[in-house]
Amino acid sequence: MNLLSKVNEIVEERRDSFIALSNRIWEYAETKFEEHQSAEVICKLLEQEGFRVQRNVAGIRTAFTASYGSGNPIIGLLGEFDALPGLSQREAAAYYEPIIEGGNGHGCGHNLLGVAPLAAVIAIKQIMKEQGLSGTIRYFGCPAEEGGSGKTFMVRDGAFKDVDCALTWHPASYSSVFSCSTLANYQVYFSFKGKASHASSSPHLGRSALDAVELMNVGVNYLREHIIPEARIHYAITNPGGASANVVQGEAEVQYLIRAPQINEVKAIYERVLKIAQGAALMTETEMIVTFDKGCSNFVPNHALGMVLNQHLQAVGLPAYEEAEHRFAMSMGETITKLDREAAVNEISKLTGQQPKRIVKKLGRFPFFSDVFSFVESNQLIYFSTDVGDVSWVVPTAQFFGASFVAGTQLHSWQLVSQGKTSIAHKGMLQAAKVLALAALDLLLNPDIVEQAKEELQEVTEGIYQSPIPLHIKPSAVK
């Protein structure tokens, strides 16, 4: 029996339990650093399976590793399981309807993302045992990908120092190896302290912290014209200083998320944003306090590993859908705009080097893409960030997008939450598990690929990596 049939058999045999686990994590919908139940169900299962589980990695209660086997190579599979705030949504509904108003939801499909590598390590373990393979397979339980950069803290703490290669995936509406770079970022809070007072009887005695936040935002909006076009600056007012117009706001806070292709570019823009914040404090006679929250590096794709993933992604292929799934997908597809679909096509075009027109043709039986896209070596940039970036700077890393949703479904949308518990998503997750298992087995069996991947990383980074997070900064979970 070849490995593909073997992996297929093991994963399919246990498909119901993997699906049930993914659904449970979807229901827990726990956000950054609070994924206690989600992390625990995965830890428990891996313990039962005979993996050596280490909890509390990097001092984060929801970060863990689970290893099987011994010696080198050590192949890491990265799993995430955090949800997003404000994205509560009823399952399998082709209309917007939150289950809990303002509640959390799995808007990035991490309920699937975390279970596929889990299913993969279980399959790998069984095959390692049966075939007496040496080496180590390790599941990395990585919390707070959304807004917390859990992996960046884990990397800074040395959690990946003995790992030879790392593999992961991300659910998407199409299948292709992720061969582009991503944006590095910093997340920083600026809080202002002024003096509260009666807005009408004694406005001259007040010093408004909210004015400082507004002036800072205006200043940064003027800065936008004078930064590199690839950079992004986002903000959210995290404390407006109260809900009363009749009180001069004594306290206010704004969160900034600054992104650019390289971490040194992020840092340079941050220094300028900092000057604007200081200027706002000066103008309003308020005190300004900076709190660095987190940062992450850009992703360095490893092409040697990308080739391995691509080979298995092609071999495993796309899920086959039933008629009922097509019907549901058609109604969901009606809520997805032409622009959403174009955004997906443009992304695929960057990953594959193919003209968008050719990709549109692959929308065979709309609303699914009818092909696994072949990737090309690329130095293109995709405009989002991932903390897989920091892992990729210290360990050769490859990841792929696995078709799990209707074509054009955007990440962080209610449509994605709605689909996260459907058989369409489950099929994508199980295909991804098989690809990850086969690729990891390939690495265990072929040490020369591991060496090649390491050489490539050394060449690209010259062995230089500096954590974007200063040493004294702790993850917000342990503050």
Instruction: Write out the binding residues for Zn ion, residues 342-401 only, by CB under 5 A.
Output: none
The residue number with the shortest CB distance to Zn ion is: 108
Least distance from Zn ion to the Cβ atom of residue 290, Å = 28
| Min dist. Cβ of residue 298 to Zn ion (A) | 16
Looking at the Cβ atoms of 79 and 396, the one nearer to Zn ion is 79
Q: Find the shortest distance in angstroms from Cβ 80 to Zn ion.
A: 7
A 10 A CB-CB count for 2 gives 8
Residues 178-237 that bind Zn ion (CB under 5 A): none
By beta-carbon proximity to Zn ion, the closer residue of 108 and 457 is: 108
Which CB atom, from 108 or from 254, has the smaller least distance to Zn ion?
108
- Residue 425 interacts with Zn ion (CB under 5 A)? no
The minimum distance between CB 110 and Zn ion, in angstroms, equals 6
Residues 347/375, Cβ–Cβ less than 8 Å: no
Which one, 108 or 332, has the nearer CB to Zn ion?
108
| Nearer residue to Zn ion within complex by CB, 8 or 187 | 187
Residue 40: which residues within 8 A CB-CB, separation 6 or more?
none
Report, in Å, the least distance between residue 216 CB and Zn ion: 29
Q: Which amino acid is at 155?
A: V
Distance (Å, rounded) from C-alpha 278 to C-alpha 195?
17
| C-alpha–C-alpha distance, residues 375 and 310, integer Å | 7
Quick one: 288 or 391, whose CB is closer to Zn ion? 391
Question: According to CB under 5 A, which residues from 279 to 338 bind Zn ion?
Answer: none
Least separation, in Å, of the C-beta of 338 and Zn ion?
A: 24
CA distance 400 to 77: 12
Shortest separation between residue 431's beta carbon and Zn ion, angstroms: 18
**Rounded least distance, CB 12 to Zn ion, Å:** 26
Residue 368 CA to residue 172 CA, distance in Å, equals: 11
Return the number of the residue (32 or 362) whose C-beta is nearest Zn ion.
32
Binding-residue total with Zn ion (CB under 5 A): 1
Query: What whole-number distance in Å separates Cα of residue 426 and Cα of residue 369?
Result: 17
- With respect to Zn ion, which residue has the nearer C-beta, 108 or 276? 108
Nearer to Zn ion, 108 or 220 (CB): 108
Q: Closest separation between CB of residue 31 and Zn ion, Å?
A: 13
The site string for Zn ion over 79-118 (x = CB under 5 A, - otherwise) reads: -----------------------------x----------
- Closer to Zn ion by CB, 81 or 139: give it: 81
Q: Least CB distance from residue 388 to Zn ion, whole Å?
A: 9
Decide: 386 and 154 in contact? Cβ < 8 Å.
no
The answer to whether the CB of 398 falls within 8 A of the CB of 308 is: yes
Of 106 and 362, nearer to Zn ion (C-beta) is: 106
Closest contact distance (angstroms) between CB of 286 and Zn ion is 37
> Where do contacts with Zn ion occur on this chain (CB under 5 A)?
108
